[in-house]
Structures are given as C-alpha cells and as structure tokens.
Amino acid sequence: MYANHAPAGQEPASHAHADQEPAGHAPADHRRLGRDLQLFATEPLVGAGLPLWLPDGAVIRAELERLAAEEAIRGGCQRVYTPVLAKRALFERSGHWAKFADDMFPPMRVGEEEFVLRPANCPHHALVYACEQRSYRDLPVRLAELGAMFRSELSGVLGGLSRVRQINLDDTHVFCAPGQMPDEIARAVASVQRCYRLLGIDVARYRLSRRGSGDGYLGGDELWSAAEGHLAAVLRDLGLDYEDAPGEAAFYGPKIDIQVADPAGREETLSTVQLDFNQPERFDLCYIGPDGGRHRPVMIHRGVLSAMERLVAHLIEQYGAAFPPWLAPVQVVVLPVAEPHTGPARAVTDRLRAAGLRAKCDPADATLGARIRQARERRIPYVAVIGDREDAGGLVALRLRDGRRLDGIGVDRLVSEVSRQVADRGADLGFR
C-alpha cells in the first residue's frame, strides 16, 4: 500500500505548497525541470494531479519499472496483474471503506452494482492468495504488481509528480507464517537498501510508524503491540537506528518508513515495509500447517521503489535531471559537423541503436556550438561529434557531460563502453 495512508492533512509539510511555483525558482525543482525537459505535463482537460508522462519521462519510468521487476524476481516474488477497480464490497471487506473512504473517488453505478477505483491493491492480492489452497510448504507467497491506485485529492493540493490522483506503486504483498516474518521484513529492508545504492539515494532515517490515538485503526491492542514489537525487533537486529513515530501507521498496521531528503533537506517517505494482521483476518486467509490444521498467514506490504511519481520526482531533483546513463532519456546524441557528415552520423546512430542504446542524430541545421549547447542543456551524457577526420578513421570526438573531451574514440569502443555503463547501471559515465 502507498506510503502515505494518512489523510491529506497529515502529508509531509514539504508538499503543502505543491500547487505553487517555489519562490525564486529553486535550482532543483522537479516541476520546473520536468517542464523544461519535457518529462511530463499536466493538461487542464485531463485534470490536476493526473500528469501525462511524455516520451522522455516515460523512458525514466520504464527503466525504473524494469529495475522493480528484476528486484522482485531476485526476491522470489511472483508477478500478478489485477484490475484498477472493484466492487465497493471488496473495500468494505478490507476496511478501506470505513477508514479511508474520504480519500477514495466516489462509487460508479453500473446497473445494480457499485464499483470504486481502488485506493490500494492489497485486497486484490489477498484474493489472489485465496485462489489456491496453500500449505505451509508454499510459504512465503510473494505477489508483486506495479499497479495504479487512486486518491481523490482536491485540486488545490496537487502539483507536479509529488501529489497526484493516480499513483503507480511498486508493491509486493508477502503472505508468510508468523515465524517467517522477521526474515521477510529483513529481506524487504535489504531490497530497499540494494535499490537505493544503485539509485544513489541516501536514507535520511528509518522511522517506525506506530498507531496513534483515535479510532482510525483496525484491530485490537494486542495485535498492534505485537506487530509494532516485531518491526522494532527487526530494526534492532539489523543494527538500524530508527525514530519512533506514533500516529504515522497505516490504518491496518504499523510500518517501517524509509525517509529520504530532497536537495533542500525536506524529508519524505519513499519506501515502506508494513506489517498487517488485519487483512488476513478480514479475508479469512489460511494455510494448512504441518499439523493438518488451518492457520492464519501474516501479510507484509513491501513497497520497495515506492510510487513511480514520487520516485521520479525525487530522482529528478537529486540528479538535477543529469541522470546516470541507464536512466537518461537520450544517452548519446550524434552531431555531424556539417551537412556532408550527416550520412556517417546516422550510421553511428544506427549502430548505437542496434546495440539497444537510446541515440539520436541531431542534423547540421544549426551551428555545432549551438547543438552542443542544446545537448548540454538537456543533460545528455554523451555527445559524439563526426567531422572529416572522424569519418575517415571510424572515430568520433566524444564530449562527456562531466566536461571531459576525448578525441579519436573508435565507434566500436563508443558502443561497447556506453553499453557496459548502461548494462551495469553505473553511476558515472565511464571512459576512464
């Protein structure tokens, strides 16, 4: 389930002003960079909080979705696909209707039935689990889906990618025996740490989000204190310092929130690991134990890469849109010095594309200097220039985004080094 299950008023303060331009154009505001670099757009006819992912933004998201899929497989997850809407009754059963309806879009009537856009995919996954009889030998069952879910936020609080009405969440639900719980929580945290290392994201702090006062929560005191105790024990065993945060839990259970900071130091929740004794109860989930009897599994909600919207917003700001090669919308731009070099430049572009790289030829209808400047403004990692000398020798003059200039690089080497950086998801530009 999504990181912020709290009502809009409990969102991090950093998003309170999300609808307005920040004063003085902060250097790394994802909305400005997203607009300037045409990563995403908001259209009044579609609606606020419903961004359109433009081709270059879609590349970044697709690469992150691929990383999420690989990480899920590596973590022993099985992929499922479930619909973005369901009968209202599903969410009455899950408890969302009682505790979360204010954040959901109103029901749609179709004949005698009422459907709602889902606020989360946990109930669907609980039903996927229940589609088969499960034995203790089958556990843990880990169901992964990067799916859309919806929030009926009011227009006034929406902006960019950080507050939206449709989120696309990297979400896994683990169903396990109680004894497997500590290991599964530790695996989820390790998975987050592995992805963050790759993405260069620093954890600001781990937060143990506990139940607060009030009746916004499902389940009894005993379940809650047990669940909170389990999460705390795992954090201690992993040697991770954490902050205690009463009142930040999801309505169905406590969670470990992995907090990150943007370049301005504002903190937000990215990834979460949530423990849930309530949904298995409400959906009467079970597995057959070694004793032949029915037992109740525990459900762990594991959101490793978070919502694509929130993650991409964070990464745009973290990198100032100068993405590492594997995430860069265009990896190599090839520039013919003058008209006669267009053919060779296109041939090099084709070689790069054939190797699976995102390359683009920018023809000589402006000065070379202007085209190099434009590539720099678009934060393209590699600019390959081709003139007479390069054409004659099967070479390019390479300009890297970090300022290095390497003349006389063979086309073969260009293709192989960039391919390796991309395949390794390297943080730098290579060519050392």
| Contact residues for Zn ion, defined by CB under 5 A | 1, 122, 301
Measured from the CB of residue 308, what is the shortest distance to Zn ion in angstroms? 16
d(CA 30, CA 52): 15
Query: 253 or 324: whose CB is closer to Zn ion?
Result: 253
Contacts 24+ apart (CB under 8 A), 401-410: 401/322, 401/376, 401/429, 402/428, 402/429, 404/429, 404/431, 406/431, 409/384
DSSP state of 78: E
Measured from the CB of residue 120, what is the shortest distance to Zn ion in angstroms? 5
Measured from the CB of residue 126, what is the shortest distance to Zn ion in angstroms? 9
Measured from the CB of residue 171, what is the shortest distance to Zn ion in angstroms? 6
What is the number of alpha carbons within 13 Å of residue 273 lying toward its C-beta?
Answer: 27
Residue 275: how many other CB atoms lie within 10 Å = 27
Query: 88 or 301: whose CB is closer to Zn ion?
Result: 301
d(CA 247, CA 10): 10
Query: 125 or 399: whose CB is closer to Zn ion?
Result: 125
Measured from the CB of residue 247, what is the shortest distance to Zn ion in angstroms? 19
259 SS3 class: strand
Query: 227 or 330: whose CB is closer to Zn ion?
Result: 227
Length of the chain, in residues: 432
Measured from the CB of residue 297, what is the shortest distance to Zn ion in angstroms? 14
Q: Cβ distance 119 to 103 under 8 Å?
A: yes
Query: 53 or 251: whose CB is closer to Zn ion?
Result: 251
Query: 122 or 316: whose CB is closer to Zn ion?
Result: 122
Residue 84: how many other CB atoms lie within 10 Å = 13
Q: How would you classify the pairing of strands 395-400 and 382-386?
A: antiparallel
d(CA 167, CA 384): 37
Peptide bond into 325 cis (omega under 30): no
Query: 40 or 252: whose CB is closer to Zn ion?
Result: 252
Measured from the CB of residue 1, what is the shortest distance to Zn ion in angstroms? 3
Q: How would you classify the pairing of strands 78-79 and 141-150?
A: parallel
Q: How far is CA 382 from the centre of its chain?
A: 26
d(CA 216, CA 211): 9
Query: 6 or 122: whose CB is closer to Zn ion?
Result: 122
Measured from the CB of residue 232, what is the shortest distance to Zn ion in angstroms? 21
Measured from the CB of residue 116, what is the shortest distance to Zn ion in angstroms? 16
Q: What is the CA radius of gyration of the chain?
A: 24
Could you tell me which residues come within 8 angstroms of residue 391 by beta carbon, excluding any fewer than 6 positions away? 341, 344
Query: 31 or 173: whose CB is closer to Zn ion?
Result: 173
Query: 120 or 335: whose CB is closer to Zn ion?
Result: 120
Q: How would you classify the pairing of strands 255-261 and 267-276?
A: antiparallel
185 SS3 class: helix
d(CA 289, CA 231): 24
Measured from the CB of residue 301, what is the shortest distance to Zn ion in angstroms? 3
